[in-house]
């Protein structure tokens, strides 16, 4: 819901309750959090007030309503200013079934992130809504040191299962991921293709990595050297950037990396 509507509703409620205080928007002491708060307080779809905010996204705080308050992302979950950006890293929420935008933000993402001091720049819900949590001018804590300082991150609402039982992201989610990656490519001058994938020694996952990395025109395909993946540019994923930590984003999304990158290439005219 539009935050203005939320506040108008709150004001009307307060006028009916003569002794009740009028709600004042909360303000964080963290500069990255304040960018998201300012956007949510004056949210107009497609017109964010800062170039670190994706025009196709909804700020997570704007998903709140009078009856569905939003848990706030704690200040430690916002990282330092990002000096440069190599590309976008795909993650899964590990949730099943897929959730609506409010559910993804308030139940799947924020409470767990606050508990673990984790975060991601974006999430994509089951209906393809892109939600932004962290401005792209600051790092998120999605994929470990060395990668978090250089890669943006998106959590796609998908269970992230193994190659034995892969679950694909739906069409709305893939279309939204293509548009998001196209915006990342245009905004940060990044080639719209799959980055160097990391071959981590698990043959079932490595076979998928070889397939999705085979179509690159500029990147030289997958590598067994972890730093090759970390230093590359384009569309990457948690598994390639933090090998051995966990098999995020799972076999389904891993197999769709080329769909996301090639769709973005069409959108940016490459
Ligand atoms: Zn992940």
Q: Are 139 and 80 in contact (CB under 8 A)?
A: yes
What integer is the mean pLDDT of 43-53? Answer: 95
Over residues 48-71, mean pLDDT: 96
Categorize the per-residue pLDDT at 22 as very low, low, confident or very high, splitting at 50, 70 and 90.
low
Query: pLDDT by residue (tens digit) across 204-260?
Result: 999 999 999 987 666 778 999 999 999 999 999 999 998 777 789 999 999 999 999
Q: Sorting pLDDT into bands at 50, 70 and 90, what band is 88?
A: very high
Cα–ligand 1 centroid distance for 67 (angstroms): 31
- Give the number of other Cβ atoms within 10 Å of residue 107's Cβ: 15
156 alpha carbon to ligand 1 midpoint, in Å?
10
pLDDT in tens, 158-192: 999 999 999 999 999 999 999 999 999 999 999 99
Determine the distance separating the centroid of ligand 1 and the alpha carbon of 81, expressed in angstroms.
Answer: 21
Q: Report CA(92)–ligand 1 centroid distance (Å).
A: 6
Ligand 1 centroid to residue 251 C-alpha, Å: 13
Return the percentage of the chain with pLDDT > 90, whole number. 79
* pLDDT, mean of residues 29-46: 95
Q: Report CA(100)–ligand 1 centroid distance (Å).
A: 20
Q: How far is the CA of 249 from the centre of ligand 1 (A)?
A: 6
From CA 124, how far away is CA 90, in angstroms rounded? 10
Q: What is the pLDDT of residue 215?
A: 76
The region of weakest confidence among 19-33, 45-59, 103-117 is: 19-33
Q: Measured between alpha carbons, how far is 89 from 143 in angstroms, rounded to an integer?
A: 8
* Spacing, Cα 160 to ligand 1 middle (Å): 9
> What pLDDT, on a 0 to 100 scale, did the predictor assign at position 97?
82
Question: Residue 3: its pLDDT value, please?
Answer: 43
pLDDT value at residue 18: 43
Give this prediction's pTM: 0.90
Q: What does the domain layout of the chain look like in residue ranges?
A: 31-40+51-268
Looking at residue 143, what is its pLDDT?
87
Rounded to whole angstroms, the Cα distance separating 209 from 219 reads: 13
- Sheet (strand 122-124) strand order: 57-59, 130-132, 122-124, 151-156, 87-92, 234-237
Domain 31-40+51-268 bears CATH identifier 3.40.80.10: yes
User: In the prediction, which pLDDT does 218 show?
Assistant: 67
How far is the centre of ligand 1, averaged over its atoms, from the C-alpha of 13 (Å)?
41
The predicted structure's pLDDT at residue 6: 43
Between residues 23 and 243, the one the model is more confident about: 243
One-letter-per-residue 3-state SS of the chain: CCHHHHHHHHHHHHHHCCCCCCCCCCCCCCHHHHHHHHHHHCCCCCCCCCCCCCCCEEEHHHHCCCCCCCCCCCHHHCCCECCCCCEEEEEECCCCCCCCHHHHHHHHHHHHHHHHCCCCCEEECCCCCEEECCCCCECCCCCCCCCCCCEEEEEECCCCCCCCCCCCCCHHHHHHHHHHHHHHHHHHCCCCCECCCECCCCHHHHHHHHHHCCCCCCCCCCECCHHHHHHCCEEEEHHHHCCCCCCCCHHHHHHCHHHHHHHHHHHHCC
**269: region left, alpha or beta (phi > 0 left; psi from -120 to 50 alpha):** left
Q: Cβ neighbours of residue 30 under 8 Å, at least 6 residues apart?
A: 75, 78
Cα(161)–Cα(95) distance, integer angstroms: 10
Per-residue pLDDT reduced to its tens digit, 119-148: 999 999 999 999 999 999 999 999 888 888
Mean pLDDT of the chain: 89
Spacing, Cα 65 to ligand 1 middle (Å): 29
């Amino acid at each position: 819901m539009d935050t203005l509507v939320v506040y108008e509703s709150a004001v009307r409620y307060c006028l009916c309750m003569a002794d009740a205080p009028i709600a004042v928007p909360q303000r964080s002491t963290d500069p990255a959090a304040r960018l998201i708060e300012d956007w949510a307080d004056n949210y107009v779809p497609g017109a964010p007030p800062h170039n670190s905010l994706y025009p196709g996204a909804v700020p997570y705080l704007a998903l709140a309503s009078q009856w569905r308050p939003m848990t706030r992302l704690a200040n430690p979950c916002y990282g330092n200013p990002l000096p440069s950006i190599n590309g976008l890293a795909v993650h899964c929420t590990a949730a099943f079934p897929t959730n609506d935008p409010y559910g993804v933000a308030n139940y799947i993402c924020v409470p767990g992130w606050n508990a673990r001091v984790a975060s991601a720049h974006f999430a994509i819900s089951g209906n393809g809504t892109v939600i932004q949590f962290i401005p792209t001018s600051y790092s998120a804590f999605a994929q470990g040191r060395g990668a978090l300082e250089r890669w943006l991150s998106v959590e796609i609402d998908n269970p992230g299962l193994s190659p034995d039982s892969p679950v694909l992201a739906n069409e709305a989610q893939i279309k939204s991921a293509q548009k998001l990656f196209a915006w990342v490519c245009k905004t940060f001058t990044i080639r719209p293709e799959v980055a160097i994938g990391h071959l981590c020694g698990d043959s079932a996952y490595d076979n998928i990595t070889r397939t999705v990395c085979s179509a690159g025109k500029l990147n030289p395909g997958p590598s067994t050297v972890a730093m090759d993946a970390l230093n590359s540019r384009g569309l990457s994923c948690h598994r390639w950037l933090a090998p051995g930590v966990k098999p995020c984003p799972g076999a389904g999304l891993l197999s769709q990396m080329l769909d996301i990158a090639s769709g973005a290439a069409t959108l940016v005219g490459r």
